[in-house]
Amino acid sequence: MKRRPFWELVFSLALMLAMVVVLIEAGKVKTSPFDELGSAFFPRALAIIIVVLSIPVFIRNAISILRPPAAPETGSDSSTPALSASNVIKTITISFLTIAYVGGIALRLLPFSVLTAAFLTFGILALNGWKLHRIIWIIPGAIIFGLLMEYMFTRVFIMDLPAFQVWF
Amino acid sequence: MIDNIISGGALALTGQALFFSFLGTFAGVFVGAIPGLSGAMLIALILPVTFYMDPLNALTLIVGIYVGAVSGGLISATLLRVPGTISSLVTTFDGYPLAASGKPGRALGLGITASLFGGVFSWLFLISIAEPLSVWATRFTPFNYFCLILLAFMLISSLSEGNMIKGLISAAIGFLLALPGIDPSSAQARLTFGFVDLNSGLPMLPFFVGMFALGTVLSDIATTRDSGMPGKASGSATSGIWLKLADHKRHLVNNVRSSLVGVAIGILPGIGSNISSFSAYVMAKSFSKEPEKFGHGSEEGIIASEASNNAAVGGALIPTLAIGLPGSFVDVLLLAAFLIHNIQPGPLLFTNHPQMVYGLIMGYLIANIFMFLIMMFTIRYTAKIIHFPRSILFSGIIVFSTVGAFAMDNSSWSLWVMLIFGFLGLILDLLRYPLAPFAVAFILGPMAEQKLRTGLQMTAGSYAELYTDPANVLLLGLAAIFLIGPMVKEIRMQRRSRAASDLKKA
């Protein structure tokens, strides 16, 4: 049950850099004499607020990294769930599968039913720790589910998903 | 008002509305019972579907899910010591010990009955306060609104997760992400970075589906323990589930007190049922004749937690419907449903759509009754659904999230937005940046900006009303207290822990 000072530090730093970009982009907005605040006021103000608030987060985590506390820390952050190696691997795998699945649909690479069946098969297997003996029921289940979903969303709800009949 | 209540009630009692209310409550109970899934996640998934529905049916469906999910969390909290939803965390303190002592039916019966009591109690407040509050709210000036929203930001940032700075950062990011696009006041594009797709701003539905469905699933995968559930109570889940009249009499005061706490905390903008259950639990313990039993299967503890978290749902609906300020995190999604149907939430809701609002309020009562009946009669089966394989659930949710994000406008841009916000939700969740301020600010941020700019136009650029109007002074004062209070508390805690460590060294 530990905080993640390194990643918090990286995130606060990334946030500050992103706000610099926002400030530059907000600077391009023209001001109007009839508008007291102008369109750029809130973007600028919020970017500055985020930078100001990120500084203590950055400093606190930098101190934690340079001088790790001897005793376990108290406070709300102590409730941060621990990440096990297997969970990290599962999350990364599912993240990549999700990107591939969403990308496949967005770029219309394959029919929705095929992408869904593939995603479900690999997703369920990955979350089960690649227990391959379960593939006997996972593959047929995923194919049936994929076809049913494609029929429902493209024929009943008339959504413009990449459909099977277009490809074959 | 009476006429509107009757006609709204008639609308809520039509076959379709009853069906969607039942469906929503049923789905909510099951989702709430499964640890890792939440009502907010299901509502985010269902939002795109509601686009095709009649507004009242859509809203009763959402309210049904909301009520069902808050109540369903007690099942796994009692039987497994794993809260199905965050609002049922306190129920684990006494629900599980009582269930483990061989009385799971009794523990569930107390929780379900208290949930019904809290829900109906808060409904009485909702139906009697909401419209008068909305009439009063029509007198609000734009500056009043701006100050009220500012107060809501401070409240939710300071109380949502306990880390004030992260809460504020989260709110500021949510606010900032609501700003890209053509500014409606000046017709100028801002923060679009040259992307034409950003001219109309970030699409709301993919944003919510990404943050609360995809992001939550990824976060759950990352943090779910491999070792399985911490406990499992033995015994029949139905034995002793129906309480006797003497039980109702004995627990009446606790029920009323806890429900009052729930309503009072629920009314505060942005604060949900999780804080109310903690507060009611602490209060019940301090009033109890047997405080030593708390944490060891106290019936009073279960009632305090469940009555208050359900009462908070009704309490939270009061500012949502009357002023257009979400009373809780899930109410943000309810407001999104209003906007999808081109219904502007706020004080004029009762004037412009009285039948629909009262239909929704009556739908809330009906959902509570359905919740009670569903949980009482299906507990034998619901108790088994909590063991449903996560691998299938999580993969299925990602599929439905993708379709849901695509459904609104059939564009791949929505899919990318959903994906980006899914990963942002995961990062924020893992680094303990609360998501509630983020969502509230995304919805209320543009309203705050618009109110301040309108106010300044009305006063020819003068800010004087902000410090001369007593209402504004009060609201800003409260906002300052909620901003400074937690910081002072944190500094004191740090000093104490430093002093303690110095003492140890000495």
Give the C-alpha separation, B301 to B309, whole Å. 12
Give the C-alpha separation, B119 to B3, whole Å. 23
Smallest CA-to-CA distance from B114 within B310, B362, B278, B374 is with: B310
Q: What would the mean pLDDT of B271-276 be, rounded to a whole number?
A: 68
Give the pLDDT band of residue A165 (cuts 50, 70, 90).
Answer: low
Taking CB atoms within 8 Å and a gap of at least 24, the contacts of A92-96 are A93/A126, A94/A123, A94/A126, A94/A127, A94/B218, A94/B221, A94/B394, A94/B398, A95/B218, A95/B423, A95/B426
Pairwise CB contact (< 8 Å): B431 & A15: no
Measure Cα distances from B139 to A137, B297, B356 in Å. 62, 49, 23
DSSP string, B66-119: HHHHHHHHHHHHHHTS--SSGGGHHHHHHHHHHHHTT-HHHHHHHHHHHHHHHH
pLDDT of A12 over the 80 cut: yes
Mutate to test the interface with A, among B391, B430, B451 (most CBs of A within 10 A): B391
Question: What are A38's two structure tokens?
Answer: 């102008």
pLDDT per residue as tens digits for the range B122-143 = 999 999 988 888 888 888 888 9
Give the C-alpha separation, A59 to B241, whole Å. 54
pLDDT at B227: 45
Average pLDDT, chain A: 85
DSSP string, B404-452: HHHHTT--HHHHHHHHHHHHHHHHHHHTT--HHHHHHHHHHHHHHHHHH
pLDDT at B25: 95
B-chain CB neighbours of A11 within 8 Å are 427, 431
Range of weakest confidence among B34-38, B346-350, B462-466: B34-38
pLDDT per residue as tens digits for the range B196-240 = 888 888 888 888 888 888 888 898 888 865 544 445 555 666 677
pLDDT at B304: 92
Smallest CA-to-CA distance from B221 within B44, B37, B53, B354 is with: B37
pLDDT per residue as tens digits for the range A132-155 = 888 888 999 999 999 998 988 888
pLDDT at B253: 93
Q: Which residue has the tokens 């009697």?
A: B128
Q: What would the mean pLDDT of B14-28 be, rounded to a whole number?
A: 93
pLDDT at B9: 86
pLDDT per residue as tens digits for the range B488-506 = 877 787 788 778 777 776 6
Q: What would the mean pLDDT of A127-133 be, rounded to a whole number?
A: 85
Range of weakest confidence among A116-125, B14-23, B148-157: B148-157
B-chain CB neighbours of A161 within 8 Å are 403, 406
Amino acid at A10: V
Range of weakest confidence among B17-31, B103-117, B323-337, B485-499: B485-499
SS3 B187: coil
As to burial, measured by CB atoms within 10 angstroms (0-12 exposed, 13-18 middle, 19+ buried), residue B385 is middle
pLDDT of A77 over the 50 cut: no
pLDDT at B327: 77
How near does any CA of chain A get to the CA of B133, in Å? 30
Question: What are B379's two structure tokens?
Answer: 């507990």
pLDDT of A102 over the 90 cut: yes
A-chain CB neighbours of B226 within 8 Å are 84, 86-87
B-chain CB neighbours of A25 within 8 Å are 190-191, 193
pLDDT at B268: 78
pLDDT of B328 over the 50 cut: yes
Average pLDDT, chain B: 85
pLDDT at B96: 85
Q: What would the mean pLDDT of B35-53 be, rounded to a whole number?
A: 81
Question: What are B441's two structure tokens?
Answer: 């600010």
Query: CA-nearest residue of chain A to B193?
Result: A25
pLDDT per residue as tens digits for the range B64-74 = 999 999 888 88
pLDDT at B236: 66
Amino acid at A67: R
Give the pLDDT band of residue B367 (cuts 50, 70, 90).
Answer: very high
pLDDT per residue as tens digits for the range B474-485 = 989 988 988 888
A-chain CB neighbours of B392 within 8 Å are 124
Pairwise CB contact (< 8 Å): A43 & B415: no
pLDDT at A70: 61
- Give the torsion sign (CA, B470, B472, B473, B479): positive
The answer, for B458 touching chain A at a CB cutoff of 8 Å, is no
As to burial, measured by CB atoms within 10 angstroms (0-12 exposed, 13-18 middle, 19+ buried), residue A133 is exposed
Interface of B with A in 217-236 (CB under 8 A): 218, 221-226
Rounded to two decimals, the pTM is 0.80
CB-CB: which of A7, A74, A81 is closest to B223? A81
Give the pLDDT band of residue B16 (cuts 50, 70, 90).
Answer: very high
Q: What would the mean pLDDT of B452-457 be, rounded to a whole number?
A: 89
pLDDT at A133: 82
Smallest CA-to-CA distance from A161 within A116, A100, A98 is with: A116
CB-CB: which of A83, A124, A157 is closest to B392? A124
Range of weakest confidence among B74-88, B202-216, B244-258, B366-380: B74-88
CB-CB: which of B161, B224, B406 is closest to A87? B224
B-chain CB neighbours of A47 within 8 Å are 176
pLDDT at B347: 82
Over pLDDT 70: what percentage of chain B? 94
Of residues A1 and B487, more confidently modeled: B487
Give the pLDDT band of residue B179 (cuts 50, 70, 90).
Answer: very high
pLDDT at B259: 93
How near does any CA of chain B get to the CA of A160, in Å? 6
Smallest CA-to-CA distance from B256 within B292, B303, B299, B288 is with: B303
CB-CB: which of B161, B172, B389 is closest to A76? B161
Pairwise CB contact (< 8 Å): B186 & A8: no
Of residues B402 and B212, more confidently modeled: B402
B-chain CB neighbours of A22 within 8 Å are 176, 191
pLDDT at A71: 55
Work out the angle between the directed axes of helices B55-79 and B2-12 (0-180°, nearest 10): 70
Give the pLDDT band of residue B306 (cuts 50, 70, 90).
Answer: very high
For residue B190, give the H/E element and its range. Answer: strand B189-190
pLDDT of B404 over the 60 cut: yes
Other beta carbons less than 10 A from residue B342's beta carbon = 7
pLDDT at B351: 86
The answer, for B175 touching chain A at a CB cutoff of 8 Å, is yes
Give the pLDDT band of residue B361 (cuts 50, 70, 90).
Answer: very high
How near does any CA of chain A get to the CA of B150, in Å? 13
Pairwise CB contact (< 8 Å): B399 & A4: no
The answer, for B415 touching chain A at a CB cutoff of 8 Å, is yes
Contact criterion met (CB below 8 Å) for B379 and B386: no
pLDDT per residue as tens digits for the range A34-47 = 777 888 899 999 99
pLDDT at B473: 93
What are the backbone dihedrals phi and psi of residue B450, each rounded to the nearest 5 degrees, phi first? -65, -40
Q: What would the mean pLDDT of B296-307 be, rounded to a whole number?
A: 90
Give the pLDDT band of residue A75 (cuts 50, 70, 90).
Answer: very low
Pairwise CB contact (< 8 Å): A99 & B419: yes
Contact criterion met (CB below 8 Å) for B84 and B373: no
Range of weakest confidence among A14-18, A72-76, A108-112, B344-348: A72-76
Pairwise CB contact (< 8 Å): B176 & A53: no
Give the C-alpha separation, A145 to A157, whole Å. 16
- Give the torsion sign (CA, A106, B36, B158, B141): positive
Give the pLDDT band of residue B277 (cuts 50, 70, 90).
Answer: confident
Question: What are B389's two structure tokens?
Answer: 């394989």
pLDDT of A119 over the 90 cut: yes
Pairwise CB contact (< 8 Å): B432 & A39: no
Query: CA-nearest residue of chain A to B414?
Result: A106
Other beta carbons less than 10 A from residue B221's beta carbon = 25
Pairwise CB contact (< 8 Å): A83 & B225: no
A-chain CB neighbours of B402 within 8 Å are 101-102, 105
Please give the biggest Cα pair distance in chain A: 71
